Amino acid sequence: MSTVDKKTAPPVGELLKDSPKNWGKWGADDEVGSLNYLTPELIVKAASSIKSGKVFTLQVKMANPEGDPVWPGRSGAIRVNVMDEGHWIANKGLHFEGGLHYADDYMTCFPQGSTQYDALGHVWFDGQIWNGYDAKTTIGGLSKASIMPIAERGVVGRGILLDIARWRKKAVLEPGETFTHEDLKACAAAQGTEIKPRDILVVRTGWIAKYYKVSHAEFYENFIEPGLTYSPALVKWFNEMEIPNLVTDTIANEVTVDPVSGVALPLHNALMRNLRITLTEIAWLDDLATDCAADRQYTFLYVAAPLKIVNGAGAPVNPVVIK
């Protein structure tokens, strides 16, 4: 929970005035930022994390009749059948020589209303997005730093699960419960592993699993997610560790409101806009976490590619983990 009055929260630009920026680091035209850390050599090395060939997929179910967990203001995907056997029963099916029948769907969705990658240009302040591009480049669709460059590149590297919920001996963290990079390191140590430079951080809080266990009214009441919390030291650590991608089982990857400053989602700007660390939200981590707790293998090959939505601010994804 915020400990400061909303009215006293400083502008995010003031909070982050001394925060490091990687603008220009990969050239004036760069649109993938920290994914540049995932070099072919690193990917070959990351493949050696595969020990048993066990595969886990990290997308939550989409267009789920039970509901899709989404950021307040968004709604879950809606899928409808537009062709099925009923059409042939009612003599309305198309005729194909040989007797082929088929099913077809139509779906509407918020592309960021499922497990998803944020585009680099998804958030900003003071009129500039990642790399200093003008925020006006977002008007009518992102002409800079959209999801496309990430989708075309793909994300492959060594992933490490940091099971904060299990480490804190909880099924799920409390609303607004925070943790820091020091907690990530301590959690890794308790798991018998170590966060290495350029690791893809996969952080579990138990929050998304809670969505399926309680009523939607309870889940969204006084909505404040648990998560990482802003500090200059945390941002410095992410930058020095050259973290390319932060994946979590929450909707926004960080505590909803920074309890110290009262600023909403400051890490979105500190990590994504300024450092260009890619954010992956709403990941399903419970099956992976159960397996890691059983075999004590917390590192793996992580592979993901969001959908190629032209000028998109984000896109759904079904990341794959191979242990």
Regarding 251 and contact with ligand UVW (CB under 6 A), the answer is yes
Q: Which span sits near ligand UVW by CB under 6 A: 13-21, 116-124, 170-178, 223-231?
A: 116-124
Give the interface size with ligand UVW as a residue count (CB under 6 A). Answer: 11
Which CB, 161 or 282, lies closer to ligand UVW? Answer: 282
Which CB, 252 or 255, lies closer to ligand UVW? Answer: 252
Which residues in the 73-102 window bind ligand UVW by CB under 6 A?
none
Which residues in the 286-315 window bind ligand UVW by CB under 6 A?
314
Regarding 271 and contact with ligand UVW (CB under 6 A), the answer is no
Q: Which span sits near ligand UVW by CB under 6 A: 117-125, 138-146, 160-168, 185-193?
A: 117-125
Give the residue closest to ligand UVW by C-beta: 252
Regarding 118 and contact with ligand UVW (CB under 6 A), the answer is yes
Q: Which span sits near ligand UVW by CB under 6 A: 56-64, 118-126, 144-152, 176-184?
A: 118-126
Question: How far is it, in rounded angstroms, from Cα 247 to Cα 59?
Answer: 11
Regarding 224 and contact with ligand UVW (CB under 6 A), the answer is no
Which residues in the 170-199 window bind ligand UVW by CB under 6 A?
none
Regarding 269 and contact with ligand UVW (CB under 6 A), the answer is no
CB of 208 to ligand UVW, least distance (A): 12
Regarding 268 and contact with ligand UVW (CB under 6 A), the answer is yes
Which CB, 252 or 303, lies closer to ligand UVW? Answer: 252
**CA 64 remoteness from chain centre:** 19
Structure tokens at 162: 């940091």
Which CB, 83 or 307, lies closer to ligand UVW? Answer: 307
Name the phi and psi angles at 235, rounded to 5.
-65, -40
Of 22, 112, 146, 245, which lies in the binding site for ligand UVW, with binding defined by CB under 6 A? 112
Of 188, 265, 317, 322, which lies in the binding site for ligand UVW, with binding defined by CB under 6 A? 265
Question: How far is it, in rounded angstroms, from Cα 7 to Cα 158?
Answer: 42
Regarding 62 and contact with ligand UVW (CB under 6 A), the answer is no
Regarding 71 and contact with ligand UVW (CB under 6 A), the answer is yes
Name the phi and psi angles at 208, rounded to 5.
-70, -35
For ligand UVW, the binding residues (CB under 6 A) are 71, 112, 118, 122-123, 251-252, 265, 268, 281, 314
